[in-house]
Amino acid sequence: MRHFNNPVIKIGAHETGKPYFSHTKHQHLHFSQNIMQDNNSLNAYEVHKFMSKMDILVAFTGHFDHQMITILLKNIRGKLKTTSPEMAIEQKVYCILVECVENVSKYSSGNEDSSRNGMFMLCKSDTKYTVITGNPMLNKDIPSLKAKLENVSKMSREELKQLYRQQIMSERETENNAGLGIIDIALKSGNQFHYNFKPLTETTSFYHFQTEIEINS
């Protein structure tokens, strides 16, 4: 039996630099204590246990280089095909994952070193897939992104389709035409997404984005 229904996973670092994984709804799923060994290194067994418990299929953290991401996505696509008999769901998960991962490369920035840095995870439970991404980004870029996310999250399916048509016909502002991706995620997930921004420094924050795709919807 599963212990949680709708996990909102937080990953970050304590002020001491120790990583933590926490679960907002159930305190007993706090792993921050066990996941470290006495000598201040990660305990592989606890990490493994944590990853299995959270149904993590794939987790990646690092530089979101296009070639690297292409290899990972190809691998995940193959994996999805073997785990899911329903192609419609597998295709939805893949589409959402790509948009989420591309958003990381798009928004991820901080300083020279952390540009395009971030993480993503793909989890699968009996009832749903969960895609989680996280990346540092500049505070000055947050208001416009937040406005976009808030706007989309309130929309009905029909309104989303309307906005999609409007966006796809509009003049291109940037190469990435921010907006279409998030509408696509909202449409394909049935508008199941959460996000938050955790302040990191005076100029940067950590952007957490999570979306769910129900398996028997």
Partner 1 sequence: MNALIIEKTEDSPGVKFDPATAQLSLSGESRPENAGKFYNPLLEWITQFESILFWRKEQKMDQKPLVFAFRLDYFNSTSAKYIMDIILTLNKLADKGYPIRVEWYYDERDEDMLDAGKEFAEMVQIKFDFLPN
Which residues are at the interface with partner 1 (CB under 8 A)?
A: 66, 70-71, 74, 86-88, 91-92, 94-95, 98-99, 102, 161, 164-165, 168-169, 172, 175-177, 180-181, 183-184, 188
Give the nearest distance from C-beta 140 to partner 1 in angstroms. Answer: 23
How many other CB atoms are there within 10 angstroms of residue 21's CB atom?
A: 18
Query: Residue 175 or 202: which CB sits closer to partner 1?
Result: 175
Residue 30 has what DSSP assignment? -
Query: Residue 139 or 191: which CB sits closer to partner 1?
Result: 191
Backbone φ and ψ of 27, nearest 5°: -60, -30
Closest Cα partner for 102 from 201, 209, 203, 212?
209
Tell me the residue type at 15: E
Give the nearest distance from C-beta 154 to partner 1 in angstroms. Answer: 20
Give the nearest distance from C-beta 23 to partner 1 in angstroms. Answer: 31
Query: Residue 144 or 162: which CB sits closer to partner 1?
Result: 162
Query: Residue 1 or 169: which CB sits closer to partner 1?
Result: 169
User: What DSSP assignment string belongs to 31-84?
Assistant: -TTTTB-TTSSB-HHHHHHHHHHTTEEEEEEEE--HHHHHHHHHHHHHHHHHH-
Give the nearest distance from C-beta 89 to partner 1 in angstroms. Answer: 10
How many other CB atoms are there within 10 angstroms of residue 143's CB atom?
A: 9
